[in-house]
Amino acid sequence: MAISKKILVTGGLGTIGTPLVELLRRRGHEVWIADLPHHHDLLYLRCDVSSARQLERVASAAKFDYVYHLAAEFGRWNGEDYYDTLWRTNAIGAKNVIRWQETQRFRLILFSSSEVYGDYSGEMSEDVMDRVEIKQLNDYAISKWVGEMQVLNSEARHRTETVRVRLFNTYGPGEYYSPYRSVNCVFCYRAIHSLPFTVYRGHHRTSTYIDDTIHALANIVENFIPGEVYNISGDEYHDIETLAAYVLAASAAEPNIARFADPELMTTKDKRVNNSKAKRDLGLRTTVRLEEGVRRTVEWMRSVYLQGCRPNGLEASAITLE
């Protein structure tokens, strides 16, 4: 029987944080949540991680064995439009958590992104940045790599224990729409409302269904290996045109709402991933293929958004292809 652990999940009300908290609790752990809004959970701590004072209040509430640090600003275009918030949260916020770790000595799981692989064109194994000089292509990607470098510096100077995870296009039910969300989310939302969306030709991704991501993430506290970094991804390497076709089929939308464009600048073109370490250490496996995952996402979105009304007058969406 696994030993119960006291765990904090920053960003615990988000797309990934919410089901992660639920799964960890089902496994018998005492899981606390930190996030931005007020919330009813009895183990909830309101906190903006970019505020050292607010994080001190979290630190005074309990002594944690593990902290999953998900709290972050997400997405390339979000990072362009709200770069001041992005850098405060993703860089200063991460540094605040790491400084807290240096005094409290909890084990940290830091969430990075597949975007840190930048302009790399080969198979993305975790040691790429140790072998090749990489150019990150946008502020979001740069901010995530800064967080990783902060961890590495802390490990060297203070012997902190951290695992870094790089998520590859996690999608599925629970990801609420905004124009800054993932390409999977944006396509599905706009398709069910018969709104146009832009499909950038020539990009490839390795999408990961939410349940598969959460299963691997929850396993980290059962097999925590300090200093490791993991690619968390599915097994399907696909182009964006294929994703669009699955969305159109699942939503029964008119094909002409998909508007095709040349490749998008300043974002990684191809994400072909090696996920063997996460399979070995974290039990990562693909249980839901992309076509089925899109169908489930569309069904969930219909239940959430379609209540006899639809938005009007919206133009084709700018998206992030993270």
We report the CATH number of the domain holding residue 246 as 3.90.25.10
Does the pLDDT value for residue 316 go beyond 90? no
Let me know whether 163 and 189 are in one domain: no
Q: How confident is the model at residue 173 (pLDDT cuts 50, 70, 90)?
A: very high
Q: Is 136 domain-assigned?
A: yes
Q: List pLDDT tens digits, range 115-161.
A: 999 999 999 999 999 999 999 999 999 999 999 999 999 999 999 99
Instruction: State which residues form the domain around 223.
Output: 6-168+211-232
pLDDT for the residue numbered 1: 54
Q: Is 224 domain-assigned?
A: yes
Cβ contacts of 168 within 8 Å, gap of 6 or more: 114, 205, 206, 207, 208, 231, 232, 233, 234, 271, 273, 275
Let me know whether 195 and 162 are in one domain: no
User: What span, in angstroms and rounded, lies between the C-alpha atoms of 227 and 136?
Assistant: 22
pTM of the model: 0.94
Contact 13, 5 (CB under 8 A): no
Does the pLDDT value for residue 322 go beyond 60? no
Q: Which residues pair with 32 in a beta bridge?
A: 8
Count of structural domains, the chain:
2
Q: List pLDDT tens digits, range 46-94.
A: 999 999 999 999 999 999 999 999 999 999 999 999 999 999 999 999 9
Q: Is 311 domain-assigned?
A: no
5-15: average pLDDT: 98
pLDDT for the residue numbered 307: 72
User: What span, in angstroms and rounded, lies between the C-alpha atoms of 183 and 190?
Assistant: 11
Q: How confident is the model at residue 268 (pLDDT cuts 50, 70, 90)?
A: confident
Let me know whether 96 and 216 are in one domain: yes
Q: Is 282 domain-assigned?
A: no
| % of residues, the chain, pLDDT over 70 | 95
Let me know whether 25 and 119 are in one domain: yes
User: What span, in angstroms and rounded, lies between the C-alpha atoms of 308 and 8?
Assistant: 39
Q: Is 317 domain-assigned?
A: no
Q: Is 280 domain-assigned?
A: no
Let me know whether 118 and 201 are in one domain: no
Let me know whether 132 and 198 are in one domain: no
Q: Is 202 domain-assigned?
A: yes
Let me know whether 122 and 133 are in one domain: yes
pLDDT for the residue numbered 314: 43
User: What span, in angstroms and rounded, lies between the C-alpha atoms of 51 and 110?
Assistant: 18
Does the pLDDT value for residue 318 go beyond 80? no
In the chain, where does DSSP find H-type helix? 17-26, 52-61, 76-81, 83-87, 94-104, 128-131, 139-158, 183-192, 210-218, 240-251, 276-282, 290-305
Q: Is 66 domain-assigned?
A: yes
